[in-house]
Structure 1
């Protein structure tokens, strides 16, 4: 994203939302903190562009050092990340988890996941209507989108199983 072209924090956030938001959470404040940190570390430069009747635009550019850090990170294999899900902790206290609260929480999560699938479908229609017409680099975010879809579908199946079992016990 940052390597695509220079951009303001807003531009970068919009690129993030279009490409990664379905698999990685980052808010507005977090993005700006990271941009400031990266600028302080010499990985980005920031050009101030005056605008008439609007606040100045800050346009961020990746430096040679930033590109080097990115290339090093891309070349290093990543370890598998542990699944950190607070909901799982509630399962270890199942006998103390009120049945009504459990049903409500799982039903709400099920609805959120269904909405997420709808969002993913909208992203796919808007950005990847004809994947074969895209270059491999342009198609790469589609792979993360599809993984997000599959993980969400798996979560939905799991919740349905838990809810079904909870009703029968």
Structure 2
């Protein structure tokens, strides 16, 4: 949550609830909805770390709101995040560990079949979500498509595992 909030604040100053709404609108229903409490806790930590600074703004008939903006150190942190490649591939995989440690070949095949069913159900759910998601929200559509492509690759890999074990 830390770096996505900094990236949003790199675009413009905002308060916590605006950041939550922006994330929800940008990522759509396919991405877990951010918890407003987590956002405010993270903003407090970022401010203590000197990456953002907040300013209280008076509002009539409402409590003050705190608007946050990046500090120079925060801008450097965001720039470094965007420049750094994301770690891939997943070498430490819990399913593979289960597969490797399953007591018998029959148990391994059962694990593969169970995982395959899970991936296919997830793929079906994502397809439904893609059909209901706002077509103009290209970021959310790309997120769903990327998840589906990863699932397809995982399904192909399960097929390869099963071929090798049989």
TM-score, normalising length from structure 2?
0.61
Q: 1:20 Cα deviation (Å)?
A: 5.1
Q: Any stretches of 5+ residues in structure 1 without a counterpart?
A: 129-138
Report the Cα distance in structure 2 between the residues aligned to 1:98 and 1:56, rounded to whole angstroms: 58
Report the Cα distance in structure 2 between the residues aligned to 1:22 and 1:95, rounded to whole angstroms: 39
Counterpart of 1:17 in structure 2 is: 24
**Contact 2:55–2:66 under 8 Å retained in 1:** yes
**Contact 1:47–1:59 under 8 Å retained in 2:** yes
Change beyond 3 A, Cα 1:14–1:40: same
TM-score, normalising length from structure 1?
0.60
Asked if 1:80 corresponds to 2:79, the answer is no
Counterpart of 2:128 in structure 1 is: 118
Between the two proteins, the alignment pairs up a number of residues equal to 153
Counterpart of 2:153 in structure 1 is: 154
Report the Cα distance in structure 2 between the residues aligned to 1:53 and 1:67, rounded to whole angstroms: 34
**Contact 2:29–2:133 under 8 Å retained in 1:** no
Q: 1:47 Cα deviation (Å)?
A: 2.7
Counterpart of 1:93 in structure 2 is: 101
**Contact 2:130–2:141 under 8 Å retained in 1:** no
Q: Any stretches of 5+ residues in structure 2 without a counterpart?
A: 1-7
Q: 1:88 Cα deviation (Å)?
A: 2.4
Cα RMSD after superposing both structures: 4.1
